Amino acid sequence: MNTPAPSAGRAASGATAEQPDTAAAASAESGRPPILALQRATVRFAGGGLPVWDGLSLSVSRGESLCLLGASGCGKSTVLRVMAGLQPLASGEMLTAVRSPAFVFQEPALLPWADLERNVGLPLQLAGWTAAARNERVQGVLERVGLTGRERALPHELSGGMKMRASIARALVMQPDLLLMDEPFSALDDPTRQRLQADLLQWWQVQGFALCFVTHQVAEAVFMASRVVVMGAKGGQIVAEWEVDEPFPRTDAFRRSARFHEHCVAIGDALAGNTGSTWDRR
């Protein structure tokens, strides 16, 4: 196996052969306080059957960009739903200091009859903001995501990339401290996807929220993440963690670099279940 140079990245603390006592402890080792930690958490759906995942310990640090990778059905979306408070645990616990979570799905899910300004301002409207206060906040967010001038556009008048920008704007408008994204760019063409990846990282750096991002693409995870967690196909175990120890902002030059490729190989190997000298398996 072509393993990365030691400086290119490293198996994160959580991937040591000895499982950390708690997910919070693993996060503390990364140098930033956790904003959320799942501890030996188990989820079961109604009707019995096997748990989706059993005894999962995973933390998100303040301001980090965490990517979750794993085969379809391994429980990634369930992790996000639990973190958003939409799915209760059957056992274990979730410690959370999150004040304002926001969720972005693969489908932009905009109201088809409402214009862009109303769609983006909807969370503020539901929270009881006045029209004037709403307008000011919405204008700022639309400018940030590059949609100024399209306020009166209806969703069907927007391109796929613009709809996703609108969906992200609607999440950013509440100034979240944790942004949960479930394969948000899967339906976009490659150039649009790459542009949005870079832009999202810029918004993440400016606003300082923690990002928890589910993707199928190894390259997307390497570009986006400060830390990648690979979930196993069965039982939702974490089979590997990898720190993408590269500076932000990430650039197109990084995407074309040998180091980028090395990270991709290491993480791709973990995803495929290959053992390599850089990986300790749980």
Ligand X SMILES: Nc1ncnc2c1ncn2[C@@H]1O[C@H](COP(=O)(O)OP(=O)(O)O)[C@@H](O)[C@H]1O
Q: Interface with ligand X includes 72 (CB under 6 A)?
A: yes
Strand ordering across the sheet containing 178-182: 10-11, 238-243, 227-231, 65-70, 210-214, 178-182, 101-104
CB contact burial 209-237 (16+ within 10 A = b; e otherwise): bbbbbbbebbbbbbbbbbbbbbbbeeebb
Shortest spacing between CB 87 and Mg ion, in angstroms: 12
| Alpha-carbon span 105 to 41, nearest angstrom | 23
User: Does residue 56 touch ligand X according to CB under 6 A?
Assistant: no
Nearer to ligand X, 3 or 106 (CB): 106
Please state, in angstroms and rounded to a whole number, the distance separating the CA atoms of residues 175 and 172: 5
**Burial of 81 (C-beta count, 10 Å sphere; 0-12/13-18/19+):** middle
Q: Is 45 in the site for ligand X (CB under 6 A)?
A: yes
Which residue in this structure is represented by tokens 């088809």? Answer: 112
Distance from C-alpha of 119 to C-alpha of 199, rounded to nearest angstrom: 20
Should residue 215 be labelled a site residue for Mg ion when binding is judged by CB under 5 A? no
Binding range to Mg ion, per CB under 5 A, among 70-78, 144-152, 254-262, 272-280: 70-78
Q: At residue 279, what is the residue type?
A: W
Q: Facing residues of 96 across strands?
A: 36
The only residue of 4, 9, 34, 70 in contact with ligand X, by rule CB under 6 A: 70
Q: Is 237 in the site for ligand X (CB under 6 A)?
A: no
Q: Which does 137 bind (CB under 5 to 8 A by kind): ligand X, Mg ion, none?
A: none
Count of residues engaged in binding Mg ion, rule: CB under 5 A: 1
Number of residues that bind ligand X (CB under 6 A): 10
Stretch that binds ligand X, among 73-81, 152-160, 194-202, 240-248 (CB under 6 A): 73-81
- Rounded Cα distance between 232 and 270, Å, is 9
Contact partner, 123, from ligand X, Mg ion, none, Cβ < 5-8 Å per class: none
In the list 34, 75, 176, 232, the residue contacting ligand X (rule: CB under 6 A) is 75
Q: Does 227 bind ligand X (CB under 6 A)?
A: no
Question: What is the binding site for ligand X (CB under 6 A)?
Answer: 45, 52, 70, 72-78
Question: What is the binding site for Mg ion (CB under 5 A)?
Answer: 77
